Structure 1
Amino acid sequence: MSAPQKSRETPSEARARLRRAARLAAVQALYQMEIGGRGASTVIREFRDHRFGAAGEGEEFVEADEDFFDSLVSGVVERQAVVDPAIDGLLADGWRMERLDATVRAILRVAGYELFQRKDVPARVVIDEYVDVANAFFEGSEPKFVNAALDRCARQARPDEF
């Protein structure tokens, strides 16, 4: 986004943009943790030191809500023993989290964490945001799968919003 476009952003639009970037980064961080076998604190520090930056710092840096990113990654790690079984229970018979693509697993874990633990974010926003993240990684059926899984998850986690 160019500087003139950013200056026309409302505060809520800027917050949404920074949170969107944090969600994408959280999915990338969880993927990196799983594939590389690295801990949350190491990966969070790496993202803060080498991937996040302020606007205008260069293309290699991403402007994101770093505190929200930290809370997502740390929250998934802390609550994974609750989130994973909840998501497993929503998958079709014969499917388990372990059978899913690592990126899809990361998307479902972060989104599941938000749905079950971050009641400050409306369920429909969570679903829309993570379907967009899925679309950033996949062109096939995965975004539809993520949408369906998160819809079931949201209806279980927050029935009052539906």
Structure 2
Amino acid sequence: MRPKPAGRPRTGARVAAVQALFQSEHTGESAETVAQQFIRHRIGAGEGDAAFEDGGVPLANIPLFEAILKAAATQAEEADAAIRAHLQKDWTLERLDPVLRAALRAAAAELLGGAEPPARVVINEYLDVVRGFLDEDTARFANGVLDAMAHALRAAEFGTPR
């Protein structure tokens, strides 16, 4: 993964949340269990490029990280429904790359959580995360889904009726 600039703990929290959701899905461990593992072993671990390549996140806002994971776990069905509503007819959630699926779930959890952060911030942050893990074609796909989902879930922010 391409590292995020130093001094962006909120971005670090989102990177860690995507990694943790990915791990939770693949190991079957609860999001709470994985969150504790990340806090103990990955967040704050290492420095620079090597930390990210080894699965660490040198700087992350832990309360935001925990909030994203909790929201993603407690609102999983609603988040998945929001994502499915914005996939093309022939795409299923299960067909998505697992890292992309984790990023979209984390973004949906934030978008479902209220007016903060603004939808455009959520879109930009998760596009940065997706670009760090996946190719540009996947980032364009993610942008379309994130934008459509944000417009549907936070229509007032875009000046359109819901």
- The CA RMSD measured in Å over matched residues stands at 1.7
Mapped partners of 1:127, 1:140: distance in 2:
15
User: Match for residue 64 of structure 1?
Assistant: 60
CA contact (8 A) 2:16 2:43 kept: no
User: Match for residue 109 of structure 1?
Assistant: 105
AA aligned to 2:24 is M
AA aligned to 1:26 is A
TM-score where L is the length of structure 1: 0.85
| Structure 1 counterpart of 2:137, from 138, 141, 160 | 141
User: Match for residue 150 of structure 2?
Assistant: 154
| Structure 1 counterpart of 2:88, from 92, 105, 114 | 92
Mapped partners of 1:38, 1:114: distance in 2:
21
> Which runs of at least 4 in structure 1 moved beyond 3 Å after TM superposition?
none
Residues paired across the two proteins, number:
146
User: Match for residue 75 of structure 1?
Assistant: 71
1:49 equivalent in alignment to 2:40: yes
Mapped partners of 1:33, 1:118: distance in 2:
24
CA contact (8 A) 2:119 2:154 kept: yes
| Structure 1 counterpart of 2:15, from 24, 27, 31 | 24
User: Deviations for 1:66-121, whole angstroms, at most 9, x for unmatched residues?
Assistant: 01000001110000011101110111012111111100100100011111214210
User: Match for residue 119 of structure 2?
Assistant: 123
TM-score where L is the length of structure 2: 0.85
Larger radius of gyration: 1
AA aligned to 2:74 is E
